[in-house]
Amino acid sequence: MKPIYLDHNATTPLHLRVRQAMQDALAIFGNPSSIYRLGREAHNLIEEARQTIASFLGAQPQEIIFTGSGTEANNLAIKGVLRSACEWMHRPPEAFHLITSEIEHPSVLETCKGLAAAGVKVTFLPVDRHGRVRVKDFVAAITPSTLLASIMLANNEIGAIQSIRALAREAHKRGVIFHSDAVQALGKIAIDYRKIGADLLTFSGHKIQGPKGVGLLWVRRGVRIRPLLDGGPQEGALRAGTENVPGIIGLGKAFEVIARKDLRRSAKSVAALKETLRRGLMQRIKGIRINSPSANCLPNTLSISIEDTEAESLLMQLDLAGICVSSGSACSTESYGEASHVLLAIDLSTEQARATLRFSLADTTTRKEITEVLRRMPGIVAKVRSISPSYLARTSGKKHPRRSRTT
């Protein structure tokens, strides 16, 4: 049987039309910066992609900066705004304050931690048990030196969607620049990105059936950033380097595919499949905790913790059964055996966090695949539990006295 891929929050296969567009684009070879015809051809194709993307987002084409990844776009947003502010206000980085949350993607968290280590003041806001930043916490964290807030639109591990418009509004009322990592939201839910009112938004290609190696940052006109990569004048002198022509064309095509979709409808059908999966798992397996919030959640993301198991063993068994899911983020910065920062932030114990699986579906996921997962899961969980000291201790106290439990 064909493997069942339920890890679309980690990466997605290329859409057929994207692949075709990229295969064609690989044959176009001019350097977009060259002024002769061949260069202009490449340049025009990039500008077409920029136009497609801008009109989908409701942006101006010149507000779109192509990058090498979502990670680079997040780095550029945060460091770019900070570096620029330092320059034109003639103040050191230590004079500024940033706000972010505890459940951001590592590319935001690590960037902020790095800046904090260099003397920048950073507030890492906690979230409630549904994985949401409380607006009142956010407002309370703002100080006169707050320059920028970066709060993700939707979380990659549990799927929680933030009250992003309210947060952006509060930020703007107080003169704070607002950035949001929208990588996981794109293509999964219908959003009017313009209406969010964010000053900077991050997107990535490979989460939306587009190519790896390309992302973008939407920088609203009037928001000043300083480039992270210096060199040539590409991307309005905000991101140097010869343009990844096929990557950008592929990204444009992936946006075009999304633009033609009825996202409300596909979200609804994906959510229905997820509900089938959730209910089926709850019925078949005891000791399941649902980590994804029931409301304000990505329709495709289901995070669960299974008592008395270890994600590593579950993943291995699932993989053998041809089922590909993950324990959390593929970009996890936690080393082997450590618990996810997102799950700890929504108050899971370390044990629970380490017993967590993330299913992330797509609109290509079939009911048959979900049925197959539900058929295989109980056996796999039982198998993993059969070697779990804590489970054995609890279910057959005599053979495995409680004191033998390790923590």
Partner 1 sequence: MNHRSIYLDHAATTAIDPRVREAMAPYLDRYFGNPSSVHRFGREARAAVEKAREILAEVISALPEEIVFTSSGTEANNLAITGFLEAQGGSPGHVITSAIEHPSVLNVCRYWSETRRDVIASCISVEQSGLVSPAVIEAAVSTRTRLISIMHCNNETGMIQPIEEIVEIARAHRCNVHSDAVQSFLKLPLNVRTMGLDLCTLSAHKIYGPKGIGALYVKRETPLQALLHGGPQEQWRRAGTENVAAIVGFAHAVQLGVEERENRLAHLQELENKFLETLQQLGCKYELNGLPENRVPGIMNLSFQEVLGADLLIALDLEGIVVSTGSACSSGVVEASYVINAMYQDGERAKRSIRVSFGKDNTLEEARRAAETLHRIVHTTQTHQ
* Active-site residue set: 331
Does 333 bind partner 1 (CB under 8 A)? Our answer is: yes
Of 58 and 233, nearer to partner 1 (C-beta) is 233
Burial of 406 (0-12, 13-18, 19+ CB in 10 A): exposed
Find the binder of partner 1 among 97, 179, 206, 354 (CB under 8 A): 206
Of 14 and 142, nearer to partner 1 (C-beta) is 14
Of 12 and 162, nearer to partner 1 (C-beta) is 12
Per-residue binder mask for partner 1 (CB under 8 A), 49-78, x = binder = ------------------xxxxxx-xx---
Question: What DSSP letter does each residue of 195-245 carry, written as one string?
Answer: HH--SEEEEESTTTT--SS-EEEEE-TT-----SS-SS-HHHHTS-S---H
As measured in angstroms, the least distance from the Cβ of 248 to partner 1 is 9
Find the binder of partner 1 among 229, 263, 344, 374 (CB under 8 A): 229
Does 376 bind partner 1 (CB under 8 A)? Our answer is: no
Q: Alpha carbon of 357 to those of 10, 208, 270, 291, 318: distances in Å?
A: 13, 21, 18, 10, 11
As measured in angstroms, the least distance from the Cβ of 49 to partner 1 is 14
Does 246 bind partner 1 (CB under 8 A)? Our answer is: yes
Per-residue binder mask for partner 1 (CB under 8 A), 114-133, x = binder = x-------------------
367-386 helix and 311-320 helix, angle to the nearest 10 degrees: 130
Please name which of 82, 127, 139 lies closest in space to residue 102, comparing C-alpha atoms.
127
Looking up tokens 């095509």 gives 253
Per-residue binder mask for partner 1 (CB under 8 A), 165-204, x = binder = ---------------------------------------x
As measured in angstroms, the least distance from the Cβ of 290 to partner 1 is 22
As measured in angstroms, the least distance from the Cβ of 135 to partner 1 is 27
Does 395 bind partner 1 (CB under 8 A)? Our answer is: no
Find the binder of partner 1 among 126, 232, 379, 397 (CB under 8 A): 232
Question: What DSSP letter does each residue of 161-172 carry, written as one string?
Answer: BP-HHHHHHHHH
Q: Which residues contact 149 (CB under 8 A, 6 or more apart)?
A: 98, 99, 100, 138, 142, 167, 171, 176, 177, 178, 179
How far apart are the C-alpha atoms of 42 and 29, rounded to whole Å?
A: 7
